[in-house]
Amino acid sequence: MPATSAQPQNTHSGGCLCGAIRYQTTGAPIRITVCHCSFCQRATGSAFMVEPIFAQDQLTITSGTPATHSQASTGSGKLVHVHFCAQCGTKLYLSFERFTEAIGLYAGTFDTPGWFTIAPNDTKHIFLDSAQSGVVIPAGIPTYRQHATANDGTPITPHIYTAPHTIP
């Protein structure tokens, strides 16, 4: 989207279905997480969540005030905070007790949802053990059976498929 006087270059806007809540991000996502956990499947009503991750200071709520639902992660036991519109129910972003500096946006809430690139150098697929049958995992992208880090913060070694892989 070209920059305008209302929207500086390298910012992207989004919001809920009814328009009560609007947000703007600055800069590119730190990374893109494609999450196949059952929480994300239930929260999105889909096979997985595409979640561009930003630093908290890259997100500004420009109108409205999101409501919050907090739930303990079955993986880490830490709280995941779902920020949503109380009027229309649109989920907008997640914040995390475990990763206090990060927020994960629901990619489909951007005005232009495909503005960012899903590329091997900044994308990962997590919780493949929970992935729905028939989902195709692209070649060359780091994948993890569960999370990408242990509860103590230790990185997990990814598996990278050399060809597209279909979840059985």
Predicted local distance difference test score (pLDDT) of residue 8: 62
pLDDT: is 9 or 110 the higher one? 110
Whether this prediction's pTM lies above 0.85 is answered by yes
Strands (DSSP E) contained in 41-90 are: 49-55, 59-63, 67-72, 79-84
On the question of pLDDT at 6 being above 50, the answer is yes
On the question of pLDDT at 117 being above 90, the answer is no
Q: Which domains, from first to last, does the chain contain?
A: 11-166 (2.170.150.70)
Mean pLDDT of 22-50: 95
Interior angle at CA 137, CA 136 and CA 140, nearest 5: 145
Predicted local distance difference test score (pLDDT) of residue 3: 40
